[in-house]
Structure 1
Amino acid sequence: MAYCIRCGVKLAEGSKACPLCQTPVQLPPDMEEGKAQPLFAQNLPPRGMGGVNKTRKGVIELILSLFVISELTVFLSMWLSGNGSQSFIPVFSIAMASLSLILAFSVKSSYTVQATIQCILISIFLFGLDAADLSLFWSLIASPAIGVCWLFFVYPFTRKAIAKPKTAAAICLLGSLVYLACINLVVNHSLTWFVPVTLPVSATLLALVALFALWFTKRKNKRIPLADIVLATLVIVFVTIASLDYFLTGYQLGAFGLRWSTSLLSASMVILLFLISVSVSRRVRRFFTSHNRHS
């Protein structure tokens, strides 16, 4: 804290002259003005910043210790009992479980990050179990299914999906189609039912969703009732299932027709007529209400 030697005005830190009388400020030789230290200590950063805290480090060390003990115990017991060649699955399972727990305690604890890591680990685990006999078959179907689950239950909550919902929906649909094509290729080694069944059913689903989305967005009242959304969803589901029955019948029997979905298609038509009648009644009521107001 310094003051002017002529007028006594309080000087700011680092001042070269008095702001009032312009008297130069001179420090004694071999003396530098340091920065003022705060009277009270500054607040510590939020908990968890800058790495893993001591509690998590202790848990991770415990997991590593149990992992080493478990691996040695299982391997030695299998080897001493003459089943050393079958020790891969239990040893690999313990390793994957330990890795899953370690990453759960050491990586950022957000839903999207943790769910993504666990989905990747589960896929690796399934591939490892299937590769125990040095061949891959069922994991080529099961592991991509984890990816499809990630698309529908994790990806929509990411920042990119929230920012671009239409793109996210297209990615989810494309991922589902790729998965179904992979199943067809793994099981039949060619696209036998994917092209004649899956693609037309997917096109039907997209067309229905687009039609109802266009119908709802063209309304003057932007607030869509929940009952309309539920009924529209039922129509989409029922008609899509009926289309699956129709194209599957053509694929299996060579003649297109409905075998077991006739009741679903009839129910969807009834619901659709109800939605149309409710929409028309709302428009008529709005017309007469606005007409009475203007008159």
Structure 2
Amino acid sequence: MEETSSDPLFAKELPPEGTHGITKARKGLIELIIALFAVSEITVGLSLFFSDALAYGFIPLFCIAMATVSLVSIVLAKPRYVHHASWQSLIVALLLLGLDGADFVWSWSLIAVGGIVIFWMYGVFPWSRWAKKHVKGGIALSVLSTVFYLALINLVVSGALTWFLPVAVPTLLALLLGTLLFFLWFSNRKGNRIPIADIVLGSMVVLFSSSAVFDGSLARYQTGAISLRWASSLLVTALVILLFMVAVSLSLRLRRYFTSHNRHD
């Protein structure tokens, strides 16, 4: 007698336990958070009602609701930096807009939310999958977000584009142009490793020269004449560092040239 294998009860393999849905521990945490939210809202609402301050109850009740949303997002979000940082940035932005827009008029929250967007573009977005696949596109989006944020600050504070075009745009162009030139300079070198000293010195040249452009543009915007007031020393320092870097680069090239010729001889 031989035992024959019978057909399985389920034709397809079942997925491993816990791969889909929410675990019991997460369900318990969510239920606890919702219970605390309900108790807090009822307690604060009754306290405001009996103290005749219910008309000012939007801000505390709204803060409790947003805190609940933040805790629930922490429990439900994927255990990755990009997901958690993105959700928390969005929740904080909505909280600030809600606090400022209680009277349906938004002012300071626009600048604060713009700052959160800039933080996300430079502190979260570079670690996303899309940014890793499209490096140039990510850099372009980061630069455009910075430009729009400066324009937003000018619009919110002054009500029009006053200092954005004559001051911010030349400074950003100088910063981008200097960064691009040093990137091309370093990329043309032989070998993939770039000394840290060259990166630090190049960054100093770009920052100091951009500061000089900012000082000159600001002086022209305020007085009508281009002049360097506090950035003249920075510009001189940038020129000295640049001459030093060029001299070092030329000396290395000359050394390689004579060394290669001596070997061939």
After superposition, residues 249-288 of structure 1 pair within 5 angstroms as 249-288=219-258
After superposition, residues 163-182 of structure 1 pair within 5 angstroms as 163-182=133-152
What is the distance in 2 between the residues matched to 1:172 and 1:142? 17
TM-score by length of 1: 0.83
Q: CA deviation at 1:98?
A: 0.7
Q: CA deviation at 1:112?
A: 0.9
> Can you list the C-alpha shifts for 1:239-259, whole angstroms capped at 9, x where unaligned?
111111110110011111111
Residue in 2 aligned with 1:22?
none
Task: Give the helix-richer structure, 1 or 2.
Answer: 2
What is the distance in 1 between the residues matched to 2:106 and 2:143? 26
What is the distance in 1 between the residues matched to 2:106 and 2:180? 39
Moved over 2 A (4+): 33-37, 42-46
Aligned-residue CA RMSD (Å): 2.1
Residue in 1 aligned with 2:100?
130
What is the distance in 1 between the residues matched to 2:48 and 2:104? 20
Matched, 1:159 2:119: no
After superposition, residues 26-41 of structure 1 pair within 5 angstroms as 34-35=6-7
After superposition, residues 1-295 of structure 1 pair within 5 angstroms as 34-35=6-7, 45=16, 49-295=19-265
Which letter does structure 2 place at the counterpart of 1:54? K
What is the distance in 2 between the residues matched to 1:137 and 1:43? 55
What is the distance in 2 between the residues matched to 1:192 and 1:135? 22
Query: For the pair shown, which has the larger CA radius of gyration, 1 or 2?
Result: 1
Q: CA deviation at 1:63?
A: 0.8
The sequence identity of aligned pairs, in percent, is: 46
> Can you list the C-alpha shifts for 1:198-228, whole angstroms capped at 9, x where unaligned?
1111111111011111111111233211111
Which letter does structure 1 place at the counterpart of 2:151? A
What is the distance in 2 between the residues matched to 1:184 and 1:208? 25
Quick one: higher RCO (CA 8 Å, sep 6+), 1 or 2?
Answer: 2
5+ residue gaps, structure 1 = 4-12, 14-32
> Can you list the C-alpha shifts for 1:2-21, whole angstroms capped at 9, x where unaligned?
79xxxxxxxxx9xxxxxxxx
Q: CA deviation at 1:35?
A: 3.5
| 3-state DSSP of counterpart to 1:245 | helix
What is the distance in 2 between the residues matched to 1:35 and 1:134? 66
5+ residue gaps, structure 2 = none
What is the distance in 1 between the residues matched to 2:192 and 2:255? 17
Which letter does structure 2 place at the counterpart of 1:200? P
